[in-house]
Structure 1
Amino acid sequence: MTSLRHKPDTARDGYLDAARECILDVGWRRTTLTEVARRAGVSRMTIYRTWPDMPTLLGDLMTREWAGVVTAEVAAGADADPVGRIVSGIVGTTAALRRNELFVRIVELDPELILPYLFSRRGRSQDLILGLTAEAVEQGQRAGAIRRGNPVAIARALLLAVHGFVLSVHTMVDDRVTAEELDAELATLITRTLQP
């Protein structure tokens, strides 16, 4: 079985773009590999040779989509101090995911697709986030800007804390509290968690 993580190419990106369009139009449950092939302008067998089923294709699509969000947000805070870089990356990624049209569509129509990543296992995107965060924590520790502790455990604790800000922040927003205020609280939470 071929996977996005092994052989990225422009044709594959085109197929993933077609799958993304399908999911945005009709949702995950109504998207088929046949429809992805039709939208991509290729035969069904071309898609089937690349992905044996929709869950495999969705895994690659989500990895590409979320990795793009994370990479952009991490780059945006690259000039900050060690703690500021992590805060900027996490808070920016959290807000960007909540605005991402594919993420929003999945949460609205097919939220069960996200449950395995909350209750059963980590996904490739989560591992990417954890790796980047642990590396940034370790660098900050070496510079004396971040408290001591296992960088991997710190990264995982931060990711666990952030899940609610990504998935549930809308339940806490009303006429008394805005999403921006909650994001500011998240920034404070991360900053105080990391400071020596």
Structure 2
Amino acid sequence: MTSEILDAAQRVFEQYGARRANVEDVARAAGISRSTLYRAYPNKEALLDAVLARQLGDFLTQLDAHASGLPPQEAVVECFVKGMALTREIPLLARMVESEPEIIIGVGGSSHSALVLGAADQVAQTLRRSGASMPDDELHVVAELMLRLAYTYMLNPHGALDLTDPAAVRDYARRYLAPLVS
């Protein structure tokens, strides 16, 4: 049942945005009562957290698979290129970046930004599996730095780097990010 609720919530959040969507819309889309929905998720914030956590988990799983078999510096490059492309391809993320970036960045104490920053452990594990040999604490700092940088580009894609040009993104990652990992 949880998967069906999250699928319905994702569709509703994609359609209306997180701010305008309400629990009644999600319950209707899931074909359940509001009380059933509230038993699974006590409020809309908890429901949105669960949807975003699932989306982030899927995103990181794709990047981890993309890094498989690559040496650490090349994994950084290819995952940055793939990650920048995925941020434009994931409908919920694209919707929130466009219309509700304050939710993603955690303005007002929102816990949603913690989801992204908490992903640094997963990124560090991916880099370790790719052969990164730097100390764990340094690897975690580098992983968080790369996530924060990618996050900034996702929220404000306009600048000197053309994020729609994979060759430019690859060159940028090779020049500036890959040297951070050893």
2:178 alignment counterpart? 191
Is 1:76 equivalent to 2:66 in the alignment? Answer: yes
Partners in 2 of 1:71 and 1:86 — Cα distance?
A: 15
1:157 alignment counterpart? 145
Is 1:92 equivalent to 2:77 in the alignment? Answer: no
Change (3 A) 1:172 1:137: same
5+ residue gaps, structure 2, are none
Aligned length: 178
2:8 alignment counterpart? 18
Partners in 2 of 1:173 and 1:54 — Cα distance?
A: 37
1:29 alignment counterpart? 19
Partners in 2 of 1:13 and 1:148 — Cα distance?
A: 34
How many Å apart are 1:94 and its aligned residue? 2.7
Partners in 1 of 2:25 and 2:17 — Cα distance?
A: 12
How many Å apart are 1:155 and its aligned residue? 1.7
Partners in 2 of 1:160 and 1:82 — Cα distance?
A: 19
Paired residue type of 1:166: M
Whether contact under 8 Å (2:14, 2:92) holds in the other structure is yes
The TM-score normalised by the length of structure 2 is: 0.83
Partners in 2 of 1:26 and 1:134 — Cα distance?
A: 34
5+ residue gaps, structure 1, are 1-10
Partners in 2 of 1:83 and 1:114 — Cα distance?
A: 28
Q: Which structure is richer in relative contact order (CA contacts within 8 A, separation 6 or more)?
A: 2
1:114 alignment counterpart? 104
How many Å apart are 1:27 and its aligned residue? 1.7
Whether contact under 8 Å (1:173, 1:179) holds in the other structure is no
Partners in 2 of 1:120 and 1:52 — Cα distance?
A: 16
Asked which structure has the greater CA Rg, the reply is 1
1:4 alignment counterpart? none
CA deviation string 1:57-102 (max 9, x = no partner): 0011001012101111220220211221233223322321122111
CA deviation string 1:122-175 (max 9, x = no partner): 523431x31122234445343xxx699722222222222222222222x1279x
Change (3 A) 1:137 1:22: closer
Is 1:166 equivalent to 2:157 in the alignment? Answer: no
Paired residue type of 1:160: R
How many Å apart are 1:41 and its aligned residue? 0.5
Is 1:124 equivalent to 2:131 in the alignment? Answer: no
The one of 39, 42, 46 aligned to 2:36: 46
Change (3 A) 1:81 1:112: same
1:179 alignment counterpart? 164
Whether contact under 8 Å (2:67, 2:126) holds in the other structure is no
